[in-house]
């Protein structure tokens, strides 16, 4: 018997080659897309290596990261020292490992703080609108006008050069992007039917925000967060270059590169190792961010 | 030609040749051919602090001022005291209390104003009244104490008078064997133009080309604050020739690495003047490379050591002695010099006391017991002194950042961790805050260094080691040492030298410090620039420099 | 210019002034209340009387509200005071001079950024998925993945040292500031990371525009590809680029700080670092004021550019 399209058919009428499209969630679909994106895969691999190195460095490095004169200063690559020695005679390979930990801590730490501040601000501004939005938007605009590098330097000078302070100082100047994004998303989402439905059943505002709006905005939030990590790592590298990053002897790739520049002609490996490590890490996070953005963007269907 | 005319020709030729040779050897011209452009260019890393005689103290400022100003006496290249504005060395009375200076009659400031005894007295009184860093150079003069009192009761020293327009008489309240050296140093004792100071303002007269008026061979012709300085010779200088240079151009550029790049491009003739230094890496490159002849390593009269706080903290007093000793014994100075000073190019281990080699008061190579390295003994002594590790909790080493200070600090940290098992935190404090706080004895363990002003141990003791020393930072107080030094200060140096050596031995017994290294001043000079460089105390004057054809 | 535009400009200028004064006030109060360290120090201690005279000269012996009042009065007259470290140096002319330097550098970098970015993006889009696209895109990614101080120092090594050696002194980059040619290398170092961002954006938006119907129509009509691109596609593809010009300019102004320090260019960025490290409080406040105003003005300029590029936008 003929039936309306879309209704279930008895098995004998279902052709062998016709398959029902699989029901996938946004996340499963995104994951598939990411998997197809080669650059994003490369990026993920690099990040994986980074995390592994960072974890291992807590327990073991070929030489202690702080010990000087383990060999002749400026020595090049050799069997005992896989990346050579720096100007103070410290093993560079060990310090690169230690630097991975620092970069991860700064990057992820800043990202978490930025997300916390930005998401809260964005949700409040976007959902309640009116006066709250006006105030938060004004704050965002004013904050954009503040030169961020200058503020970070000033804050670090005032409150000290610890990892936490640096992450905090960077986050304070960079939360606006996340806030603006979440605000935009909230604006759009709050007009959707499921929000209206929730409201009509008398759900409290905070529950609506937490249960309906926030999870639906999660995609772009995740993308923005992924971009926030290399931004923070770059910032810390700048600070280290200016001599304001994490204090010695903690190895930071930015500080290592800064120290190594003077020896560029004498011993290029001193600056090349951290510079390449930095660049690879930043590229990796950017690739993954791009991949996530392409994967979660509903317009880019192929 | 007949034989006779041949002989005539030959003898004629010989005669002419002899005449020419005689004329040639009689000429006084040098055989150097000077380049047409006699401009000297070199970099400094920050703008000058001050060129006001009453306030000057930094070595970089001295190296500029010495070409623009003069005093009654000065040091020659080899460090001997010679007359400058005076006609000869002063007449000193037999009791050593009265100094009479006779001034030259033809001295003029660069703006044409003549110089008389009144100018000398005005300048010296002004410096003494300002009570800044080097005012104590005049402390032996009678009446100085009135200016130094709080509140001051006079503005001029009663002991400083003139008997006529060209004779200055200084009566001292106590004999001082070091006073001539202090005068020859310059700075505080430079003669300045009262009219200019009053016209242009007490604080800022020296900041513009029109205001920087002195008796020296050079004057400032242009200044862009924090960017550049230009000097040129004073025309018709009262003391004759100002030398070959026609212009000196100084760039203010913070990064030492870019100095050497620009030098190699031909943008500078010298790197290293005014107490500046190229990076360790550039020095190593030059030492080992084809241009090694352009690098000169001059032993400098600077000494660096780790200071301890004797008034508070774990290292205080007698109870802290073992700690101080252990920390000093745990430092391998040859490793430090290797790591922090371009493999030993820009400093040498300090094994002969805190007064550097080459100066009076040096104890002799290896004579400083507190500079010996013994890791095992250090560890044992440390464990004895602090078995629970409670004394070194949060221990911090404080210093002002510069490339060498940073490398030194990090090496100290690494060595103490390795040889004592102690983790010391590093604290880099900006130069200004660091110096005030150090003088206020804020820091527990800190970097200290001193560049000798002149070759006399009094310079070190009175500023650093006696009770209440202004720049000590330690709070060290040894009454016996104070007495010894006070009496030594009054005697001439050949009699007092032994006293100063004894005083140093007292300090070593007290484990006063952990000596580190003596400084070396590196100069990189183009091979066609002659007369440049320096002695241990200061750069050679610009009047000596010539740029040859190249 | 319409009345609406004028009102808009005035509103923005007011906001800029307010922000600038607010920021510098915060810095002023923060510095004078919080920062440790005496203002005047040298290797040997100052006499207390001398110190008192200096404090009085700089109004540092007054209570904080009065100091602030003195300072604000000065600012309204255009006088930012005197340097604490280099006596006799007036701050306002110093910063104005350095502002000009930084503005020159920033403008050159902006031109380079937009120029190179557009070119790279265009080529990558037009030759999509060929090796040209690959090279251009990779260059872009490298550009914004490397810290600018890495790019800068590599450039200095290449153009300063190696170029000098290869051409035996004929061509080289002379470190410093003063000659017109000396702006090239710092501008490139400063602009390169941002050029990459522009390139990516241009590529993406160009790709989208090319697929639009009106472009296909123009092609189908037989118009030469070049005309099609320039006339139709480019202008529309540029719109997203224009929208990021604001953040781009701000980003360049931030990057100026590091670049000026590396190349020793006497601009605001270098002054900022120097004055912070020297604890020259007066100059630090002055720099913040100027910087905030500069950022505001640059953004205003960019915003005023929109109606020129897209007539649909009006204030």
Q: Where are the alpha helices (DSSP H) in B308-369?
A: 321-329, 333-340
Q: What is the model's pLDDT at position A151?
A: 79
Helix (H) or strand (E) holding B375: helix B375-385
pLDDT at C279 over 90: no
**In whole angstroms, what is the distance from residue A115 CA to residue C169 CA?**
53
Averaged pLDDT for residues A231-257: 86
- pLDDT (average), residues B468-488: 89
Please say if the pLDDT value at position B361 is more than 50. Answer: yes
Nearest-angstrom CA–CA distance, B486 and B458:
9
Give the pLDDT mean for C147-164: 80
State the pLDDT confidence band at C136, using cuts at 50, 70 and 90: confident
Residue A178 reports pLDDT greater than 50: yes
Q: Does B435 touch chain C (CB under 8 A)?
A: yes
Choose the weakest-confidence range: B306-320, C22-36, C103-117: C22-36
A 144-173 residues inside an 8 A Cβ radius of C: 144-150, 153-154, 157-158
CB of A181 within 8 Å of a chain C CB? The answer is no
Q: How far is CA B18 from CA A171, A252, B15, B22, in A?
A: 88, 77, 5, 6
Whether B359 contacts B452, CB under 8 Å: yes
Q: Grade residue C38 by pLDDT with cuts at 50, 70 and 90.
A: low
C-alpha–C-alpha distance, residues A184 and A127, integer Å: 10
**pLDDT of C41 strictly over 50:** no
How would DSSP label each residue in B12-74?
HHHHHHHHHHHHHHH----S--B-S--EEEEEESS------TTT---HHHHHHHTTT---SEE
Q: How far is residue B539 CA from its own chain's centroid?
A: 9
pLDDT digits (tens, 9 = 90+) for C193-205: 888 888 888 888 8
- In C, minimum Cα distance to A299 occurs at C208
Percent of chain B at pLDDT above 90? 62
> Given this model, what pLDDT does residue C120 score?
84
If interface means Cβ-Cβ distance under 8 Å, which residues of chain B face chain A?
257, 279-282, 284-285, 335, 338-340, 343, 401, 403, 406-407, 409-411, 413-415, 417-418, 425-426, 428
Tell me the angle at which helices A92-128 and A214-241 cross, rounded to the nearest 10 degrees: 140
Chain A contact probe: residue of B283, B414, B430, B433 with most A CBs at under 10 A: B414
Please compute the mean of the pLDDT values over residues C4-12 and round it to a whole number: 84
**Pick the residue with more confidence: C25 or C189?**
C189
Instruction: Give the closest residue to C110 by CA, choosing from C205, C186, C175, C207.
Output: C186
Residue with token string 């030489």: A63
Q: State mean pLDDT over B513-529.
A: 94
CB–CB of A121/A175 below 8 Å?
Answer: yes
Q: Which residue has the higher pLDDT, A101 or C246?
A: A101
Mean pLDDT value across residues C203-219 = 74
- What pLDDT is stored for residue A19 in this prediction? 61
What is the arithmetic mean of pLDDT over C157-183?
A: 77
Q: What is the DSSP letter of B75?
A: E
- Residue C210 C-alpha, separation from nearest chain A C-alpha, in angstroms: 15
Pick among A85, A87, A250 to test the B interface (most B CBs inside 10 A)? A87
Over residues A33-72, the pLDDT tens digits come to: 777 777 788 899 999 999 999 999 999 999 999 999 898 8
Strand partners, B98: B171
Task: Give the confidence band of C230 by pLDDT, cuts at 50, 70, 90.
Answer: low
Highest mean pLDDT among A31-40, A233-242, B22-31, B536-545: B536-545
Q: Which chains form contacts with chain C, at 3 or more CB pairs under 8 Å?
A: A, B
Over range B405-425, report the average pLDDT.
93
What's the CA gap between C194 and C255, in Å, rounded?
A: 10
> C240 burial class (0-12, 13-18, 19+ CB within 10 angstroms)?
middle
Chain A residue numbers with beta carbons less than 8 Å from the beta carbon of C16 are 145
Instruction: Name the packing angle between helices B333-340 and B403-420 (round to 10°).
Output: 140
- Compare B64 and C51 and report the one with higher pLDDT: B64
Of B336-340, C45-49, C194-198, C255-259, highest mean pLDDT: B336-340
Q: What is the mean pLDDT of residues C101-117?
A: 88
- In the prediction, which pLDDT does A7 show? 54
**From CA C173, how far away is CA C165, in angstroms rounded?**
12
For residue B6, pLDDT beyond 60: no
Q: Tell me the whole-structure pTM to 2 decimals.
A: 0.80
pLDDT tens digits, one per residue of B205-245:
998 899 999 999 999 999 988 788 999 999 999 999 999 99
Residues C35/C279, Cβ–Cβ less than 8 Å: yes
The answer to whether residue A2 scores a pLDDT higher than 60 is no
A243: DSSP letter: T
Among B333, B410, B424, B426, the residue to mutate for chain A (most A Cβ within 10 A): B410
- Asked if residue C44 has pLDDT above 50, the reply is no
Condensed to tens digits (0 to 9), the pLDDT of residues B61-77 reads: 899 999 999 999 999 98
Q: Are strands B247-252 and B39-44 parallel, antiparallel or unpaired?
A: parallel
More confident residue, C240 or B509: B509
- B264 touches C: beta carbon within 8 Å: yes
Contact B470 C45 (CB under 8 A): yes
Confidence at residue B403, expressed as pLDDT on a 0 to 100 scale:
80
Residue of B58 and A145 predicted with greater confidence: B58
Q: How confident is residue A112, by pLDDT bands cut at 50, 70 and 90? A: very high
Interface test with A, best of B258, B339, B340, B429 (most A CBs within 10 A): B339
Contacts of A89 in chain B (CB under 8 A): 338-339
C182 pLDDT higher than 90:
no
Q: Per the structure block, which two tokens stand in for B40?
A: 């000297």
Which tokens belong to C31?
A: 């510095």
User: For residue C227, is pLDDT > 70?
Assistant: no
Q: Is C117 on the interface with A (CB under 8 A)?
A: no
For range C18-34, the mean pLDDT: 75
State both tokens at C206: 């160009």
ipTM score here? 0.76
**Token pair belonging to B500:** 């100063």
Q: Is B83 helix (H, G, I), strand (E, B) or coil?
A: strand
Q: Which residues in chain B touch residue A73, judged by CB atoms under 8 angstroms apart?
A: 338-339, 343
E-strand ranges in B80-143 read: 81-83, 91-92, 98-102
Three-state DSSP state, C28: helix
- The pLDDT of residue A126 is 84
Mean pLDDT of B103-129: 94
List CB contacts (< 8 A) between A245 and chain B: none
Q: How many CB atoms lie within 10 A of CB A192?
A: 13
In this structure, of A95-109, A269-283, C30-44, the range with the lowest mean pLDDT score is C30-44
Q: Is the pLDDT confidence value at C37 over 70?
A: no
User: Residue B437 corresponds to which tokens in the numbers above?
Assistant: 């706080």
User: For residue B167, what pLDDT is reported?
Assistant: 95
Say how many CB pairs under 8 Å bridge A and B: 61
Task: Provide, rounded to the nearest whole percent, the portion of chain A with pLDDT above 90.
Answer: 25
- CB contact set of B218 (below 8 Å; sequence gap of 6+): B67, B68, B231, B232, B233, B234, B242, B248, B542
In this structure, the strands spanning B513-525 and B347-349 are antiparallel
- As a whole number, the mean pLDDT across chain A is 83
Q: Which residues pair with B250 in a beta bridge?
A: B42, B229
Does the pLDDT of residue C126 top 50, yes or no?
A: yes
Contact assessment for residue B266 and residue B417, using Cβ atoms and an 8 Å cutoff: no
From residue C160, how far is each of B164, B261, B470, C263 by CA, in Å?
61, 7, 46, 11
Distance CA A253, CA A239 (A): 11
**What does the pLDDT read at residue B100?**
95
Q: In this predicted structure, which of B237-246, C33-42, C55-64 has the lowest mean pLDDT?
A: C33-42
Angle between helices C184-210 and C91-126 (to 10 degrees): 40
Work out the pLDDT band at B25, boundaries 50, 70, 90: very low
Ranked by mean pLDDT, the top range of C50-54, C104-108, C259-263 is C104-108
Q: Which tokens go with C305? A: 């550019």
Q: What is the reported pLDDT for A10?
A: 55
Mean per-residue pLDDT, A7-18? 54
Structural contact between residues B189 and B127, judged by C-beta atoms closer than 8 angstroms: yes
């Amino acid at each position: 018997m003929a039936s309306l399209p879309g209704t279930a058919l008895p098995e004998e009428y279902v052709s062998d080659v016709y398959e029902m499209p699989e029901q996938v969630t946004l996340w499963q679909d995104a994951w598939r897309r990411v998997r197809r994106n080669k650059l994003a895969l490369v990026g993920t691999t690099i990040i994986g290596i980074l995390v592994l190195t960072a974890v291992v460095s807590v327990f073991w490095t070929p030489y202690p990261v702080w010990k000087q004169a383990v060999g002749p200063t400026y020595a090049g690559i050799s069997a005992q020292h896989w990346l050579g020695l720096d100007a103070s005679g410290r093993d560079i390979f060990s310090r690169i490992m230690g630097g991975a930990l620092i970069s991860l801590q700064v990057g992820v730490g800043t990202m978490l703080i930025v997300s916390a501040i930005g998401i809260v601000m964005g949700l409040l501004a976007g959902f309640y609108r009116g006066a709250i939005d006006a105030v938060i938007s004004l704050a965002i605009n004013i904050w954009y006008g503040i030169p961020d590098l200058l503020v970070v330097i000033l804050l670090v000078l005032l409150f000290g050069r610890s990892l936490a302070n640096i992450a905090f100082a960077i986050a304070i100047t960079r939360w606006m992007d996340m806030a603006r994004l979440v605000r935009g998303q909230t604006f759009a989402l709050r007009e959707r039917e499921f929000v209206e439905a929730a409201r009509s059943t008398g759900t409290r505002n905070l529950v609506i925000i937490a249960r309906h709006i926030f999870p639906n905005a999660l995609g772009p939030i995740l993308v923005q967060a992924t971009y926030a990590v290399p931004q923070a790592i770059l910032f810390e590298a700048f600070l280290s270059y200016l001599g304001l990053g994490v204090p010695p002897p903690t190895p930071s790739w930015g500080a290592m590169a800064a120290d190594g520049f003077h020896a560029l002609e004498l011993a290029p490996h001193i600056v090349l190792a951290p510079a390449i490590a930095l660049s690879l890490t930043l590229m990796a996070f950017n690739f993954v961010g791009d991949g996530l953005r392409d994967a979660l963007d509903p317009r880019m269907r192929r | 030609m007949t034989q006779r005319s041949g002989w005539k020709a030959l003898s004629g030729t010989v005669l002419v040749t002899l005449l020419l040779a005689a004329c040639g050897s009689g000429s006084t011209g040098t055989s150097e051919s000077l380049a047409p452009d006699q401009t000297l260019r070199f970099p400094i890393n920050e703008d000058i602090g001050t060129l006001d005689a009453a306030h000057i103290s930094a070595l970089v400022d001295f190296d500029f001022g010495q070409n623009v100003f003069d005093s009654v006496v000065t040091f020659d290249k080899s460090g001997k005291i010679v007359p400058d504005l005076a006609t000869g060395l002063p007449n000193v009375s037999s009791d050593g209390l009265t100094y009479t200076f006779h001034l030259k009659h033809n001295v003029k400031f660069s703006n044409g104003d003549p110089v008389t005894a009144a100018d000398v007295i005005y300048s010296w009184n002004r410096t003494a009244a300002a009570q800044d860093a080097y005012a104590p150079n005049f402390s032996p003069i009678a009446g100085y104490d009135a200016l130094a009192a709080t509140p001051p009761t006079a503005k001029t020293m009663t002991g400083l008078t003139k008997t006529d327009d060209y004779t200055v008489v200084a009566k001292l309240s106590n004999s001082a064997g070091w006073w001539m050296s202090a005068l020859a140093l310059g700075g505080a004792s430079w003669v300045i133009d009262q009219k200019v100071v009053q016209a242009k303002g007490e604080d800022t007269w020296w900041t513009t080309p029109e205001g920087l008026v002195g008796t020296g061979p050079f004057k400032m012709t242009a200044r862009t604050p924090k960017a550049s300085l230009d000097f040129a010779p004073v025309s018709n200088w009262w003391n004759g020739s100002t030398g070959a240079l026609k212009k000196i151009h100084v760039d203010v550029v913070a990064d030492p690495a870019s100095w050497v790049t620009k030098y190699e491009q031909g943008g500078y003739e010298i790197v290293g003047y005014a107490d500046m230094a190229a990076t360790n890496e550039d020095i190593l490159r030059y030492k080992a490379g084809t241009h090694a002849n352009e690098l000169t390593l001059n032993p400098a009269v600077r000494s660096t050591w780790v200071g301890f706080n004797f008034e508070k903290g774990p290292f205080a007093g007698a109870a802290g002695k073992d700690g101080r000793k252990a920390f000093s014994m745990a430092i391998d100075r040859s490793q430090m010099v290797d790591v922090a000073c371009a493999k030993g190019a820009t400093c040498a281990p300090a094994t002969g006391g805190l007064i550097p080699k080459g100066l009076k008061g040096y104890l002799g190579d290896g004579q400083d017991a507190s500079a010996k390295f013994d890791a095992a003994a250090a560890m044992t002594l440390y464990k004895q002194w602090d078995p629970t590790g409670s004394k070194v909790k949060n221990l911090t080493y404080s210093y002002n950042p510069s490339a060498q200070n940073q490398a030194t600090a990090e090496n100290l940290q690494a060595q103490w961790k390795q040889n004592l098992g102690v983790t010391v935190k590093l604290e880099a404090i900006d130069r200004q805050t660091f110096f005030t706080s150090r003088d206020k004895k804020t820091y527990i363990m800190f970097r200290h260094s001193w560049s000798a002003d002149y070759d006399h141990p009094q310079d070190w003791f009175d500023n650093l080691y006696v009770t209440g020393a202004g720049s000590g930072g330690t709070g060290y107080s040894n009454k016996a040492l104070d007495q010894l030094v006070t009496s030594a200060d009054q005697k001439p140096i050949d009699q007092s030298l032994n006293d100063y050596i004894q005083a140093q031995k007292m300090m070593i017994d007290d484990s006063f410090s952990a000596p580190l290294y003596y400084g070396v001043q590196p100069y990189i000079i183009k091979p066609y620039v002659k007369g440049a460089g320096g002695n241990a105390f200061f750069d050679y004057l610009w009047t000596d420099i010539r740029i040859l054809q190249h | 210019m319409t009345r609406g535009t004028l009102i808009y400009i005035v509103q923005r200028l007011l906001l800029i002034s307010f922000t600038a004064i607010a920021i510098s006030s915060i810095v002023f109060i923060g510095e004078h209340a919080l920062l440790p360290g005496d203002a005047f120090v040298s290797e040997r201690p100052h006499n207390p009387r001398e110190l008192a005279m200096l404090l009085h000269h700089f109004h540092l012996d007054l209570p904080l509200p009065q100091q602030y009042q003195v300072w604000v009065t000065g600012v309204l007259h255009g006088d930012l005071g005197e340097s604490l470290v280099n006596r006799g140096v007036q701050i306002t002319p110093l910063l104005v001079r350095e502002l000009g330097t930084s503005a020159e550098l920033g403008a050159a970098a902006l031109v380079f950024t937009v120029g190179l970015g557009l070119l790279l993006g265009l080529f990558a889009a037009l030759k999509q998925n060929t090796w040209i696209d690959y090279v251009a895109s990779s260059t872009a990614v490298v550009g914004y993945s490397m810290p600018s101080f890495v790019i800068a120092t590599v450039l200095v090594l290449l153009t300063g040292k190696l170029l000098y050696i290869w051409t035996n002194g004929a061509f080289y980059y002379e470190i410093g500031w003063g000659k017109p040619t000396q702006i090239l290398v710092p501008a490139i170092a400063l602009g390169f990371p941002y050029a990459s961002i522009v390139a990516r954006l241009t590529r993406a938006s160009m790709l989208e525009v090319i697929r639009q119907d009106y472009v296909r129509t123009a092609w189908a009509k037989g118009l030469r590809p070049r005309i099609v691109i320039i006339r139709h596609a480019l202008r529309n593809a540029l719109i997203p680029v224009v929208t990021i010009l604001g953040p781009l300019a701000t980003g360049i102004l931030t990057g100026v700080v590091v670049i000026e320090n590396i190349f020793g260019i006497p601009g605001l960025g270098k002054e900022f670092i120097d004055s912070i490290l020297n604890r020259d409080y007066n100059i630090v406040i002055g720099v913040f004021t100027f910087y905030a105003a500069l950022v505001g003005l640059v953004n205003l300029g960019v915003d005023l550019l929109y109606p020129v590029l897209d007539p649909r936008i009006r204030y």
